[in-house]
Amino acid sequence: MQVEIDRKSGFCFGVQNAVEIAERALLEGEMVYSLGSIVHNDMEVNRLKRLGLVSINHDEFLKLRDCKILIRAHGEPPETYLAAIKNNITIIEATCPIVKKLQTRIKDTWNKSGDNSIQLVIFGKPGHAEVIGLLGQIANKGILVSGPADLSKIDFTSPVHLFSQTTMSVTDYNKLIEAIREKYQQNGFTNPDKMFKASRTICGQVSNREPHLKEFASNHDVIIFVSGNESSNGKMLFQVCKSVNRETYFVTDETDLDLKWFEGKKSVGVCGATSTPKWLIKNISNTIAKI
């Protein structure tokens, strides 16, 4: 049985950067806290925990003083930085540069609107760390939508500027854009683009993986998709693979593998999310190769 690892799977730049920053900070020998899990993958979190990284929640963060806190790739709202200053906490900045840029764009767009006459809409997952950070840039005055079902939150007689969480599906984002245009047309606007602007803010490393994984998944009898259960990107890319190959299975580590999946199969493809470490993908690939 042939086993192939997808060459493009594994950490995106933002996650890789955050992990490397954490490792360097830990090598200095001081206690380092991560505000939330540094990555949505328990296996990688546990590896860094063994190196000394301590994950905490926001309630625990507010009780700390005189220490070092790592801001993970998802980013944080301004209130987190203000609390750090108040409590003499040193920030180790590991926010993904793409997320940081998006935070600035959202804030600038809101400020330039002057009287806030536009509706600033964000396409994202409710409660996701990145979304909390994005909405925080405008004092939580934006409108969060997860799909066309949420469009009732929008007033289609007023202008809209739409942004997306960086790890959302491009296909779903395009569907949402068309649904918004249709709503404006239904309200009598023959040219919706005069009322509506959509910024393309999905990360290129995420968007480019969709067509690549479709091709990769179609070239194998079985696809093993490696991801953490909490990864929204993982859930999305798993469905991308599943859409072209019904024999696609979601695993978090080697113990999730089922021998029945490989009976009579000649080729297996192993791939993963932007939050899945390469070492984990390789370990699972090696396990399958021994079958």
Q: Is the dihedral of CA 44, 49, 54, 55 positive or negative?
A: positive
C-alpha 270, offset from chain centre: 20
- Cα separation, 60 vs 34, in Å, equals 11
- For the chain, the C-alpha Rg in angstroms (whole number) is 21
Half-sphere exposure of residue 129: CA atoms within 13 angstroms, side-chain side: 24
Report the DSSP beta bridge partners of residue 144.
122
CB-CB neighbours of 148 under 10 Å: 15
**Interior CA angle at 142 toward 137 and 145, to 5°?**
125
- Cα separation, 99 vs 14, in Å, equals 9
Contacts of 7 (CB under 8 A, 6+ apart): none
Residue 130 is a catalytic residue: yes
Which residue is catalytic, options 44, 79, 93, 130? 130
Structure tokens at 16: 């890789």
Amino acid, single-letter form, for residue 114: G
The catalytic site residues sit at 130
